[in-house]
Amino acid sequence: MRALSPDRLKQVLHYDPASGVFCWAENRKKCTKGARAGSLRADGYVLIRIDYQRYYAHRLAWLYMTGEWPAQEIDHADGNPANNVWSNLRAASPTQNMQNRPTQRNNRTGLKGVRRSSRGFYATIQVDGQYRYLGRFCDPLEAHLAYCQTASAAFGEFARFS
């Protein structure tokens, strides 16, 4: 498979960095020039098909703006995978990208990094593939504060607290 070049991308699509929207730059079989490109997947990501290949819109935005394919992953700073505004996209390692995930749906406390135990609440965090126990607390908000402080120190701008 030949990688899509920046020139070919700009030949078939126009990207508006302020809105994050791709539009067709030429008429295609099922698309007209100026029509919005791509479709929204169930997981919230936008997919665009070019020359019989499917691409994630956020990766195409990176190629369009920088002229190069991203070296690793592209993170949506606000956590919304459909928001492909240029200012919302940033290069990230797989670890950094994972840190920007929201609280899991099966979390019974509703607080990221906090779990209930028979003796109160405890906080944990995973850093560099290792789980760290942050302590046991009577109040779930205290446990969450311990998580937030550690996440901020460990992950910086990629830390997400909810």
* pTM confidence score: 0.81
Structure letter (DSSP) for residue 153: H
Main-chain phi, psi angles of 34, to 5 degrees:
90, -15
Q: Are 144 and 137 in contact (CB under 8 A)?
A: no
pLDDT digits (tens, 9 = 90+) for 120-134: 999 999 888 899 999
Domains of the chain: 6-92 (3.90.75.20), 96-158 (3.30.730)
Q: What is the pLDDT of residue 41?
A: 96
Q: For 56-105, what is each residue's pLDDT tens digit?
A: 999 999 999 999 999 999 999 999 999 999 999 999 988 888 887 888 88
Contacts of 32 (CB under 8 A, 6+ apart): 24
